[in-house]
Amino acid sequence: MIAASQTQANATAGDLLGGANASTLSLLSTDAPKSSTPVVVSTPSQPFDAVIAVGVLIKGSTMHFEYICDSVSHGLMKVQLDSGVPVIFGVLTALTDDQALERAGLGRGENKGHNHGEDWGLAAVEMGVHTRAWSAGQF
């Protein structure tokens, strides 16, 4: 089971990233990726196999951006270490609105950019599969 949490100050980029996560995860749930290592499926001791923290931080004119980025990074790492559940860092840090839109696949002009939400969904599935294999003693 995968949890995706989204807090947004920029609804456009945040909504698209979260939507890409949901789309990717729904596709994978019906056609799970094949692993070269067999995975023993058992009742999970954790409520989730992976967590995706989805967010967009856009720099303003004050130092708050740096403080918030640092706190988010450290906080998500602490959650991962304390829980033993992989946490995918799905937080875009951008200097401008245009950068955030491009990183969400909504760029202006010829290059629309790449929606990183799909990558985060795939990373969560991969980490969930690896974590289950590792807990079963398969390395």
Number of helices (H), then strands (E), in the chain: 4, 3
- Give the structural domain span for 26: 2-135
Task: At 50, list the tokens.
Answer: 């992976």
Tell me how many domains the chain contains: 1
CATH of the domain at 72: 3.40.50.960
Which residues are known catalytic residues?
64
The predicted pLDDT at position 11 comes to: 53
Nearest-5° angle of CA 37, CA 48, CA 17?
95
Q: Which residue has the higher pLDDT, 34 or 57?
A: 57
Q: Which residues contact 11 (CB under 8 A, 6 or more apart)?
A: none
Average pLDDT of span 41-65: 79
Q: Which tens digits make up the pLDDT trace of 110-136?
A: 888 889 999 999 999 999 999 989 888
Average pLDDT of span 51-57: 92
SS3 of residue 137 by DSSP: coil
Residue 69 pLDDT more than 50? yes
Q: Which tens digits make up the pLDDT trace of 11-23?
A: 555 565 556 555 5
Closest alpha carbon to 89 in 107, 105, 70, 112: 70
CA distances from 87 to 18, 55, 62, 91, 112 (A): 15, 13, 28, 11, 27
